[in-house]
Structure 1
Amino acid sequence: MGSPSNTTDNGHRGRVLLTGANGFTGKYVRAELEAAGYSVCGALVGAARGPHETTLDITSLDDCRRVLDKVRPDYLVHLAAISFVAHADADAFYRVNVIGTMNLLQAIGDTGAPVKRVLVASSANVYGNATAGVIAESQPPQPVNHYAASKLAMEHLVRTWSDRLPIVISRPFNYTGVGQQPNFLVPKIVSHFVSRASVIELGNLDVERDFSDVRMVAHAYHGLLENDCAGETVNVCSGRPYSLRSIIDLMQDIAGYEIEVRVNPAFVRQSEVKTLVGSPDKLRAIVSDLNPVPLQETLRWMYQAGVGS
């Protein structure tokens, strides 16, 4: 990874404002950046619990101005979003994912915060049912649900700031790890094996996804802060597809028993993206020391940890 882009008198590489700090990804990004010498201020929806946290409602421009003025970050890592695709409140996707992001960028401009890099997390869901096989960043987006549409709208509006702020947009594909909520697919599967369940109900078993380890994703975000990639949109992915069937097979090897899989039609979404596999070439060109974790190792880590600990 490149040398630190700035070093303050106390030895830190700079102050990072991290939104979504208490979320699944945020906890790993925080640990990654603090281990590298950054000072991280976590922005939370709930009450702050220490000197390195602050309450922030990104749907309020005034609140965004207050926090940017208070923290004066060198870097902004914006992870806060409604990320569960089947979330019931469609309006919330746009209020949080689009308007909330715009509020943060406006607040940087209004307060004159000395930001050297803004990392905004979008999603590979913007590609929709792409038919290009391995998807590069040049693939035209075609979102098929409110979550993906909100992220694509956010991307378009974020780019209107690219002449004023050094922004990089990440498009993470699926990733998982210890601490991910059980309403996501892989933790659901692993938790069934942890509890030695005899049956699991799933949707379409032939859906294929590109799965990464959350620790690799955190390292990739660290690299996108430090390397010269302002103005870029970058896939964060492994480049390898796994079907649900193959994940079940891996877990049966890890847990040492076979589970009965039942397809529940209620779990098959009408707007399901069938295959979503990304090209990591651009990411690897920017972040040269990426170390992808094989999915079997990630699953074993989650199984041994009891999934959500």
Structure 2
Amino acid sequence: MDQHGNSAKRALITGTSGFTGHYLTQELQQHGWEVWGLGQTPKSESQAGPDYYVQADLNDYATLQAAVHQAAPHAVFHLAAIAFVGHGSPADFYQVNVGGSRNLLQALAGLPIAPQSVLLASSANVYGNAAEGQLAESTPIHPANDYAVSKAAMEMMASLWMDKLPLVVTRPFNYTGVGQSADFLIPKIVSHFRRRASQIELGNLQVWRDFSDVRDVVRAYRMLAEKQVTGTVVNVGSQALHSLQDVLDTCARLTSHQMEVQVNPAFVRANEVKTLCADTSRLESLVGARTLIPLEQTLQWMLS
């Protein structure tokens, strides 16, 4: 029994009300974890979610420290971040993604009993547009926007805590699922097909990317924590490449709806890398072989 009188393993998730946090909460609960959520806003009573919820701002150290002590977690999943690359204020990326993450690590390092696993969600965006093809964790990082720079900076800052906390840093490639904001590409395409729009504006259709199902991503996160993988950086992806044209063709086939695609030059990124794919051999070596949900199944789920 622990100080809360419980025997279940306790997970603390930051950003629990976000897209990924929602699915990670479900994944952990289904595997016998007690989930504590941490977020800035009061928990809405209507939403199913974590077993317990603590309200704290990552940039308010005193309340964050109190919340972390209250949860006394066995595992921490740090998902809270400003993630939309087109977000208005660049300074926010640094304040939340670097400063807030540092506050969290400092609070965790001060716990009477250290967690057994602290997973920090970074992003494959840190690789930038310099390298092509299948990228391993050893690929030099080359972040190309403020979001990616903030994640790279978070990784570098976290290295200062490697000797104090059992850290694992994940670099997820693109992933999607029901409930992801239409600011992101695949939900945007899916929403156009769902409302049977006559046309859609996109950028370059001949870019090939590694897309995962959010449910596979959170399963990888749970397995890394349960195996107490620490002191390393791990790519999370599918190793399967799909072009945007593939995604459009699959949605058209699943919905029997055709849409005119207009290429908007504003959406075409200069010198965009043609193929970006995760090398996930390190992940497999750590958690074992994974059976992944094919992209078509993910799209079917989102379209329905």
Contact 1:68 1:113 (C-alpha < 8 Å) held by counterparts:
no
Counterparts in 2 of 1:74 and 1:143: CA distance versus 1, 3 Å: same
Aligned to 2:82: 82
Q: Which amino acid aligns with 2:160?
A: T
Q: Which amino acid aligns with 2:15?
A: G
Distance in 2 (CA, whole Å) between partners of 1:111 and 1:228 is 18
Q: Which amino acid aligns with 2:230?
A: A
Contact 1:12 1:38 (C-alpha < 8 Å) held by counterparts:
no
Q: Which amino acid aligns with 2:134?
A: V
Aligned to 1:48: 43
Match of residue 34, structure 1, among 29, 33, 41: 29
Distance in 1 (CA, whole Å) between partners of 2:32 and 2:235 is 25
Aligned to 1:127: 127
Cα deviations across residues 36-74 of structure 1 (Å, max 9, x unaligned)?
011001111211346611112011222221111111111
Aligned to 2:104: 104
Aligned to 1:231: 231
SS in 2 for 1:66: helix
Q: Which amino acid aligns with 1:267?
A: F
CA displacement at 1:268 relative to structure 2: 2.4
- Give TM-score, length-normalised by structure 2: 0.93
Within-5 A mapping of 1:189-228: 189-228=189-228
Aligned to 2:48: none
Q: Which amino acid aligns with 1:96?
A: V
Q: Which amino acid aligns with 1:124?
A: A
CA displacement at 1:143 relative to structure 2: 0.5
**1:265 counterpart = 2:260:** no
Cα deviations across residues 144-176 of structure 1 (Å, max 9, x unaligned)?
000000000000110111111100000000000
**1:294 counterpart = 2:294:** yes
Alignment coverage as a number of residue pairs: 299
Counterparts in 2 of 1:19 and 1:9: CA distance versus 1, 3 Å: closer
- Give TM-score, length-normalised by structure 1: 0.92
Distance in 2 (CA, whole Å) between partners of 1:89 and 1:273 is 26
CA displacement at 1:130 relative to structure 2: 3.5
Distance in 1 (CA, whole Å) between partners of 2:225 and 2:2 is 14
The percent of aligned pairs where both chains have the same amino acid is 46
The answer for unaligned runs of 5 or more in structure 2 is 46-50
Distance in 1 (CA, whole Å) between partners of 2:178 and 2:296 is 13
Q: Which amino acid aligns with 2:18?
A: G
Distance in 2 (CA, whole Å) between partners of 1:220 and 1:72 is 23
Stretch deviating more after TM superposition (69-78 or 117-126): 69-78
Aligned to 2:180: 180
CA displacement at 1:241 relative to structure 2: 1.6
Counterparts in 2 of 1:220 and 1:10: CA distance versus 1, 3 Å: farther
